[in-house]
Amino acid sequence: MGYAMVKHSDNGLAKPTPMNANTALAKLHAQNNIDPWAQATEAKRRMADARMAVLGVAAQWVRDGAKVNSAAEALFDQLSYQMTPTQVMAIQTIDSQCKTPSLPTLKRWLAAYKKQGKVGLLPNHTGRVRQDYGWEARAVELFNIPSKPGYEDVAHRLIGEGYDDVTFDRVRGYLKSMPATLGKESAKRIGKKLHKLTHKNYTERRMDDLHVGDCYAADGHTADCYVAHPETGGPFRPELTAFLDLKSRALAGWWISESESTTTTLFALSNALTTHNHNPLFIYVDVGSGYKSKIMTDEVVGFYTKFDIEAIFALPGNPHGKGWVERWFKTVRNRHDKFFADGTVYCGDDAAPETNRRMSSEVKAGKRVLPSLAEYIDSLKQFFGQYMNTPMPVALGGMTPAQVWAQLERVELAMPLEAVARPSVVRVARRQSVTLDSRRYFALELALYDGKEVKVEYDLHDDAHAWISTLDGRHICTATITERKGVISTSRIEDRRAKRLTGQVKRLQKHIDEKTQRATSTIDMTTVADRLEMPRTDLLDPVDVRSKRVMDRINSKRIIDITD
């Protein structure tokens, strides 16, 4: 739709002048490829079929080049002399009194058929024709903006821009008559991305070719309830990372942590591998740092490479790609978190606001006791057992995840279970040792690999040893730690916690600096008030708030005595 700011209303506001409302809407229908036959009602289509049956062979004559008048006269003579059974039934459909169509009517039908085909035979009676007031195209434009104004808001805006014959009812009725592409859920109102996800067609993935245990879908989710933090005792929402088998919907592995990270992803996947001693072919994950970090994806020493697992990464911002695990987390929320601790610590978006409004102060004052993290984990274990034995009529044809998972053809891990959760990195061997995370590991066997790259596996919990192998996976030796540089702990987990704490302190300091700068702001409220052109309150009618009358009074410069 095109607009030009050329017309000015009496109040001085520029008023967009639409090219033509009907033309704009016609272009809209053309852009959307609307098929008149598909848009017609069933009754209109039946009428068009009946008219086609009456025309019979005359339609073929016109299509072959015969003149409309000659074909209509011949058809009229035939109908007057003897009608076929098909024509008799069609005329009964067209006219309850079985009146034979007149010659002008037959000419009109044949002309319409010649021009548009069968679509031209659709009844074109539209009932009362709506009057065009001139603001329609502008109303559609104002309604379809990202701020999503309401019907009455658009009407007020049109009045303010000086359009005539604007009423709330007319605007609301007109906008409600718009097609879905220009309605409340249009792409311009809710955004192209959300519109595509919720209104456009998508391809549903099939799993006919998948076997049990072939592919795991994984994601992390912050629990929808509060528990007591193990260290501080304050309100805390743990992070649940889960790996779900797509074919059976079985929970293959999971992990609880403070926040999603590479470490929690590694532990959750390791739990899935070691619990069932099974090596999947694929994992379906998002592009978060926990799944796409170098520890996980490196082609030589990455965790996926270590177990020959192919990672399939979902498109960013596309929840349909991993809808299975998203729905599973919704099941955990609805069937577990809402009932944990009798629902008193639930904090989902549909929770009663007053339930947790003063939680922090009440916990700090000792008026409220939160369940512990251990209690939450135990409750989750019990729920997961129930989930695995719950029949799924649609997804699994009435079987339970445990029953389908029992069909697993296990592909055993080719390494000791205790070695599964060890991440790997590449280092250069020098002087019979390798250096990793400010730690030096020594082994005599490394003399044969001096100056060469080797693969170093390490334990996140205990740094006493490192396991050295060639880049193609052949074991070389187990090296022993000989030196720790600086003040570091014996656990890399503790090192990472300290690093995370440093980052959190930095981010908090940025907030403190920003608050300090705002507190010394040089904005003078008096100066701001002087710069604003405040509306004259003596021009406002306290009784009649209709915008049209207000604008008229402003234009006429009348002052209303509010004491009347």
Q: Note down pLDDT in tens along the chain; length 564 residues.
A: 344 333 444 444 445 544 444 455 555 545 545 577 877 888 888 988 998 988 888 888 888 888 989 888 988 888 888 888 888 888 888 887 788 889 999 899 889 888 888 888 888 765 566 788 999 999 999 999 999 999 999 999 999 999 989 999 999 999 998 888 888 888 889 888 777 777 777 666 677 788 999 999 999 999 999 999 888 888 989 999 999 999 999 999 998 888 778 878 888 888 899 889 999 999 988 888 888 888 888 888 788 888 889 998 887 766 666 778 889 999 999 999 999 999 999 998 888 888 888 888 888 888 889 999 999 999 999 999 999 999 999 889 899 999 999 999 999 887 777 777 677 888 899 989 998 877 889 998 898 899 999 988 887 667 788 888 888 878 888 888 887 765 455 555 566 666 667 777 777 777 777 777 766 655 555 555 565 555 444 444 444 444 445 455 545 544 434 344
Helices 323-332 and 373-388 pack at an angle, to 10 degrees, of: 120
**What whole-number distance in Å separates Cα of residue 529 and Cα of residue 183?**
39
Per-residue pLDDT at 512: 79
Return the pLDDT at 383.
95
| Residue 194, H or E segment | helix 192-199
pLDDT at 560: 39
State the maximum Cα–Cα separation within the chain, in Å, rounded to a whole number: 114
**Structural Rg of the chain based on CA atoms:** 37
Nearest CA-CA partner of 252 in 283, 225, 223, 221: 283
The pTM for the full model equals 0.60
How many helices and strands (H and E) does the chain possess?
23, 15
User: What local confidence, expressed as pLDDT, does residue 241 receive?
Assistant: 92
Say what the pLDDT of residue 516 is: 75
| pLDDT at residue 546, rounded to an integer | 46
Three-class DSSP labels, 107-152: HHHHHHHHHHHHHHHCCCCCCCCCCCCCCHHHHHHHHCCCCCCCHH
Q: Which CATH number fits domain 215-405: 3.90.1170.50, 3.30.420.10, 3.40.50.2000, 1.25.10.10?
A: 3.30.420.10
Q: Can you tell me the distance from the alpha carbon of 337 to that of 380, in angstroms, rounded to the nearest whole number? A: 9
Residues 6+ apart with CB under 8 A from 110: 55, 58, 59, 62, 68, 71, 72, 75
Q: What CATH architecture does domain 422-484 belong to?
A: Roll (2.30)
Both ends of the chain: CA-CA distance in Å?
A: 47
- State residue 6's pLDDT score: 38
Q: How many residues does the chain have?
A: 564
Q: Burial code of 94-104, b = ≥16 C-beta within 10 A, e = fewer?
A: beeeeebbebe
Q: Domain locations in the chain?
A: 3-32+129-199, 41-121, 215-405, 422-484, 522-564
> Which residues have a Cβ under 8 Å from the Cβ of 376 and sit 6 or more positions away?
223, 225, 227, 238, 256, 340
